[in-house]
Amino acid sequence: MVTDLFVVDIGRKAMLLMLYMCGPMLLAALFVGLFIALFQAATHINEMTMTFIPKILTVVLVLMFFLPTMLALFKDFFINLMAIIPTLYH
């Protein structure tokens, strides 16, 4: 039987999964952007495009490193969700 608490729990698990999957890339981009901003402030270089390439490369590298873990987390969430679906209409 589907209750409000059940739906909220699935939503909470989905949001946590989103944070686990996006968090490493966002944190890496944040730290690279902060480092480049400090470098630009120290050297008085005000080039706006200087931050994009290092951030993109950092996100790609972090994605390559964490992709197996992300896929395993998503697979487990999806399998659990699919296992629950047949029990919902009894």
User: In the chain, how long is the greatest CA-to-CA distance?
Assistant: 67
Say if CB 77 and CB 17 are below 8 A apart: yes
Which tokens belong to 23? Answer: 């968090």
**pTM for this prediction:** 0.80
pLDDT at 90: 65
Domain residue extents for the chain: 4-87
59-79 residue pLDDT tens: 999 999 999 999 999 999 999
CA atoms within 13 A on the CB side of 75: 6
What is the spatial distance between Cα 59 and Cα 56, in angstroms, rounded to a whole number? Answer: 5
